[in-house]
Amino acid sequence: MVPSKSMNRVVVGTVLWLLIPSLGVVQKFLGIAGVVTYATVASLIFFAGYKRGFRAFTSRVSEKAVPWLVGATFLGLALIFLVVYPVADSGVPGVGPGSDRDEALNIATTQLLHGHYPYYQKTYLGTPITPMPGALLLAIPFVLIGNSAYQNLFWLFVFFLFAKSFLKSGRLALLLLWTILALSPVVLHALVTGGDYLANSLYVMLFVVWMVSATLRSDHGGPGLLAPAVLLGIGLSSRLNFATLLPLIFSALVRVAGWKTTVKYFAVTCATSTAITLPFYLYDPQGFSPLLTSASKLGAFQSMVPLVGIIVPLVTGVISLALALQRANRDLTIMLRNCAIVLVFPILCGIVLASVQAGRPEFYYPDSFASYSLPAMVFGVTAAWPKLFKRSTYSVDHNS
């Protein structure tokens, strides 16, 4: 067993990563009383499961049974999607508590495929397009087969395959997937409403890990690093908040491969992201809605804290740089945890400001704000899971 104090920190941290993104969705449907009930019940379930249930599962279920359980899990998720999504996506007030994020991605990607500027259209709710160009490119295969909402199931399955390799255990990977689905309802909400933020969170985390692991396997760089470097650039171009991860990714790559290889392939990542994003911005800076809507989130509190839309991103960048310079950053789980900290910080700032403004706990305004910490949950829980079960991961320090 890991030392009790260290274990307790990891367990509590895991619970927080699981709970925070769902607080806004729970408040929307059940109010503050529902938030308190959800946080209490979910915490108790996790603590009980970690002490007894997880161990019982891994001791009684064989690895041979995992493919069947995974198949049943994704069949169930597909059936839930097929039944609930059409209702949630109906757009009829009072019928479906849906989201227009799927429509935004469908509209923008379709416009892009037709050779039109993708950011002039609006959704049926009258909201502008928020996904950046990288998200549009990665949504193309799913839009071509009918709907960008399909990508959530796809990336959840890829995430399970990654977790199985990462944890060296199909049972622990399945437990991770089940825990996220059971205790973080924002995930199922994203699945049944078709919002892209779940898939977006998953593929960015997967691209980050792929880049670091590919660099680790390559002693002196090589063409094998080109694909992950390009994909990471596309992923980082999906939403503006992922730019805050650049110092942490750069630091991890330096520890793996040294400065020469890192500078070369990190430049490929940055060049890819810039080449994808900059033309859309330059074509019409005033019409590039992802940048304008990102700034408006914290801008809602401008009257309380002048320049809050500048101060919070700057402080977030400073935190990212400080964590990147930590000498203790020796393994992948620490890097992933630091990414989670950087991603959740602006969201926590927004929650605090919204709560002060409302005079009570506020997790939903503006626009289900807490759910924007979904990427932090994906990074944070993935980082914590090996520690919970004493699973070692590779080092990101070539001298360790």
- Residue 329's SS3 state is coil
- With a pLDDT cut of 70, the percent of the chain lying above it is 92
Q: Is residue 398 assigned to a domain?
A: no
Other beta carbons within 10 Å of 174: 24
Q: Into how many domains does the chain fold?
A: 1
Q: Is residue 397 assigned to a domain?
A: no
User: Where does the pLDDT of residue 342 fall: very low under 50, low under 70, confident under 90, or very high at 90 and above?
Assistant: very high
The set of residues, in sequence order, having a beta carbon less than 8 Å from that of 224 and lying 6+ positions away, is 214, 217, 218
User: Where does the pLDDT of residue 394 fall: very low under 50, low under 70, confident under 90, or very high at 90 and above?
Assistant: low
Q: What is the pLDDT of residue 332?
A: 87
Residue 121: exposed, middle, or buried by beta-carbon count in 10 A (0-12, 13-18, 19+)? Answer: middle
Instruction: Please write the tens of the pLDDT for every residue from 291-309.
Output: 877 666 787 788 888 888 8
Q: What is the pLDDT of residue 280?
A: 96
The set of residues, in sequence order, having a beta carbon less than 8 Å from that of 1 and lying 6+ positions away, is 7, 390
Q: Torsion angle, CA of 19/24/28/31, rounded to 10 degrees? A: 60
Is the CB of residue 255 less than 8 Å from the CB of residue 396? yes
- Examine the pLDDT at 220 and tell me if it is beyond 60: no
More confident residue, 149 or 329: 149
Residue 2: exposed, middle, or buried by beta-carbon count in 10 A (0-12, 13-18, 19+)? Answer: middle
- Examine the pLDDT at 101 and tell me if it is beyond 80: yes
What span, in angstroms and rounded, lies between the C-alpha atoms of 274 and 142? 24
User: Where does the pLDDT of residue 314 fall: very low under 50, low under 70, confident under 90, or very high at 90 and above?
Assistant: very high
More confident residue, 258 or 176: 176
- Examine the pLDDT at 124 and tell me if it is beyond 70: yes
User: Where does the pLDDT of residue 4 fall: very low under 50, low under 70, confident under 90, or very high at 90 and above?
Assistant: low
Q: Is residue 132 assigned to a domain?
A: yes
- 36: phi then psi, degrees, rounded to nearest 5: -65, -45
- Examine the pLDDT at 139 and tell me if it is beyond 80: yes
User: Where does the pLDDT of residue 399 fall: very low under 50, low under 70, confident under 90, or very high at 90 and above?
Assistant: very low
Query: Closest by alpha carbon to 151, among 86, 202, 104, 211?
Result: 202
- pTM for the model stands at 0.93
Q: Which domain holds residue 100?
A: 4-388
Q: Is residue 400 assigned to a domain?
A: no
Query: What is the arithmetic mean of pLDDT over 368-386?
Result: 94
- Examine the pLDDT at 397 and tell me if it is beyond 90: no
What span, in angstroms and rounded, lies between the C-alpha atoms of 160 and 172? 10
Query: What is the arithmetic mean of pLDDT over 163-184?
Result: 96
Instruction: Please write the tens of the pLDDT for every residue from 221-261.
Output: 677 889 999 999 999 999 999 999 999 999 999 988 889 98
Rounded alpha-carbon distances, angstroms, from residue 93 to 87, 99, 105, 126, 189:
11, 12, 21, 14, 17
Q: Is residue 61 assigned to a domain?
A: yes
Q: Is residue 217 assigned to a domain?
A: yes
Q: Is residue 266 assigned to a domain?
A: yes
Terminal-to-terminal C-alpha distance of the chain? 23
Cα 316 off chain centre by: 17
Q: Is residue 395 assigned to a domain?
A: no
